[in-house]
Structure 1
């Protein structure tokens, strides 16, 4: 029985039910009507009511199913031509499809990309600002200076050119590193999850608000993970190679009596191939303390840009326990193109969660391109 036939049957039985209810009232108010007749009408009402309930349940289930099919098939953007609007609508559909445990439409897959047949590549927030509708809660300053890619089984050369004579590498530390570790860097897959709480109001709200909420949370979660693995003083087992500070990477430490001296010595210690593009990654509190010491009442230092003070551009990150000096192009983050979208529930709050499972790796392609500046007071 189709939806139309169910509607007609539901109306017919509903009319019968209304008539029986009217007859019961009329007969019960007539003293001349035998009570058995009223009781028979009550029994007929119960049977008719049960029949009505069965039909209504079938009708509601079929109507909901057809409505869902209609939602899946209707155009995503409703005639909008703006590519950004289409992407927002496609992202919103992906989130709703995940939370409702239904299949993503072919149109959304095409808009978001389908390299892994899920249409999810472009859900992973990009490092460029125009992919985000607003700023994340957590930022990773390495996004502006490190290399970021999104490939499966990525393998890249440590140096992007070679000469017929391998003696062209003037930096002896680099030459030794190439000989010890090989010419290429192979990226692995290290799984982690980002949980995004989504209320019913947000899920049923506008596409823009839904996508803003998910994008902000994902961007923040990814940035937090990137910083955690890159600056970990005690890396998680298996992730030691990702941290600038790990003993496995053993990046050369340059000591100085003060923070300023250690940083300047570290810059000078770099080979010129890396020094030209070197930057300093350090905590803002360390920089402020250094300026206080340098200023000694002279306000000139407070107004001077950090690059003039240290001789190289400065990037601030409170995660940098000791300043890192180097060419950050040799810091490379790679995300696997495979991503899993799922839903979960926080049993403590009852809030539904959109869950993104991603695989990340961070490789320091050339350790000789970096130095760690450490303060060691003079004896």
Structure 2
């Protein structure tokens, strides 16, 4: 039986902006249609699961189709909820943001008011700051309110795969131990490389502050538009900027002065150990084998997609088995794709830790050449690789 599968291309391009012009009624119709399809797949999946004649491939294919429909349904529902909240808020008294009953609409409206006031160089109303959780009790610096900073800094970002596997915090003057427990016997660490590293570098990680700015351009048209479009436009720009900065410092081979420790590819005495192989597949296999079992158990692989396609082409050897298989089936470990990962990185990414220090600031700036206003975010980030011995760099050294 040929099960319906949503086109992959349309699914990948499906985002909130795609539905920016849809009416609430259209979104409700789309939700109803996808909801019926999802219910249909759930019923068929239940039948397949108890059918002894059904193959595992049939069940997996049906599960994949169900997941695709669910992903599309969730995206449309999110846009529906935001739009519905804004329309409900439009019937409330806008003279006082506290009169907006719906919590989601209240936050969207408050964000929009903060952005507009900042761009127009006006004071942000106190009730707006109260809704967003203002942390600035001194009345001095313009600190980004709690609600906005937590969403920008702490929520997983699709555009930065490290957000799914690394550790993220937002703590001032952070210091943490490199290992989570100790014993009264100093020789309890089975991995000799870890023991040597702790002896040389100490057993505590101290996070530093590295300042950077993200600029979110805002045109007058967007500024005068709906709250939803304004907030989405600024949030997307800031999120993309944060993700780009995180990936840049983590994967660069030419770091800025003072940021050398943030890169997986740092050189010198503190460099991560390199493990060689005749090709990408062999190099990663050797890197996994070289890890101590304490780290190998939770190891993941970060590599660029071009290298992965070379591996798949090599393993296929005339058939298409691995093209249809998930990347995890190749090495038995989770694989994350980052184009900036010029050499695959293998290890326990719980020891990759990003921390945003101090309060995040916001301000405005104007590009005099274009006339576009910028909503500017200033943040302080540090990336610490808490244990270099928890990672390996897989390097291809062709056989002579």
Q: Which TM class, normalised by the smaller chain length?
A: 0.7 to 0.9
CA gap 1:157/1:111 in 2 versus in 1, 3 angstroms: farther
Say if 1:113 and 1:119, in contact at 8 Å, map to a contact too: no
Inter-partner Cα distance in structure 2 for 1:119 and 1:220: 17
Cα drift, residue 154 of structure 1: 1.1
CA gap 1:111/1:176 in 2 versus in 1, 3 angstroms: farther
Say if 1:282 and 1:324, in contact at 8 Å, map to a contact too: yes
Q: Is 1:274 the counterpart of 2:295 in the alignment?
A: yes
> What's the TM-score once normalised by structure 1's chain length?
0.75
Inter-partner Cα distance in structure 2 for 1:296 and 1:328: 32
Inter-partner Cα distance in structure 2 for 1:221 and 1:119: 16
CA gap 1:192/1:346 in 2 versus in 1, 3 angstroms: same
Per the alignment, in what secondary structure is the counterpart of residue 338 of structure 1? strand
Residue 261 (structure 1) aligned to one of 276, 282, 292: 282
Correspondence 1:295-334 to 2 at 5 A: 295-334=316-355
Query: For 1:70-117, what per-residue CA distance to the aligned partner results, in whole angstroms no more than 9, with x for missing partners?
Result: xxx9422542232x2222222222212211223323333333233344
Inter-partner Cα distance in structure 2 for 1:269 and 1:169: 16
Q: Which residue of 1 aligns with 2:100?
A: 79
- Structure 1, unmatched stretches of 5+, are 1-72, 130-134
Say if 2:300 and 2:348, in contact at 8 Å, map to a contact too: yes
Inter-partner Cα distance in structure 2 for 1:243 and 1:101: 38
Inter-partner Cα distance in structure 2 for 1:183 and 1:95: 43
Residue 234 (structure 1) aligned to one of 254, 265, 280: 254
Q: Is 1:140 the counterpart of 2:160 in the alignment?
A: yes
Say if 2:100 and 2:106, in contact at 8 Å, map to a contact too: no
Q: Which residue of 1 aligns with 2:155?
A: 128
Q: Is 1:93 the counterpart of 2:113 in the alignment?
A: yes
Query: For 1:27-61, what per-residue CA distance to the aligned partner results, in whole angstroms no more than 9, with x for missing partners?
Result: xxxxxxxxxxxxxxxxxxxxxxxxxxxxxxxxxxx
Cα drift, residue 322 of structure 1: 0.3
The structure having more radius of gyration, on CA atoms, is: 1
Inter-partner Cα distance in structure 1 for 2:134 and 2:240: 24
Q: Which residue of 2 aligns with 1:150?
A: 170
Correspondence 1:157-306 to 2 at 5 A: 157-248=177-268, 249-306=270-327
CA gap 1:109/1:157 in 2 versus in 1, 3 angstroms: farther
Would you say how many aligned residue pairs link Structure 1 and Structure 2?
299
Inter-partner Cα distance in structure 2 for 1:284 and 1:217: 25
Cα drift, residue 200 of structure 1: 1.2
Inter-partner Cα distance in structure 2 for 1:351 and 1:119: 21
Per the alignment, in what secondary structure is the counterpart of residue 243 of structure 2? helix
Inter-partner Cα distance in structure 1 for 2:218 and 2:145: 19
Cα drift, residue 268 of structure 1: 0.7
Q: Is 1:362 the counterpart of 2:362 in the alignment?
A: no
Query: For 1:220-240, what per-residue CA distance to the aligned partner results, in whole angstroms no more than 9, with x for missing partners?
Result: 000000000000011111100
Q: Which residue of 2 aligns with 1:340?
A: 361
Say if 2:98 and 2:127, in contact at 8 Å, map to a contact too: no
Query: For 1:296-332, what per-residue CA distance to the aligned partner results, in whole angstroms no more than 9, with x for missing partners?
Result: 1121122222111112111111110000000001101
Inter-partner Cα distance in structure 2 for 1:202 and 1:337: 30
Query: For 1:248-286, what per-residue CA distance to the aligned partner results, in whole angstroms no more than 9, with x for missing partners?
Result: 540000000111010001001111111110000001110
- Structure 2, unmatched stretches of 5+, are 1-93, 138-142
Say if 2:354 and 2:383, in contact at 8 Å, map to a contact too: yes
The CA RMSD measured in Å over matched residues stands at 1.8
Inter-partner Cα distance in structure 1 for 2:130 and 2:388: 40
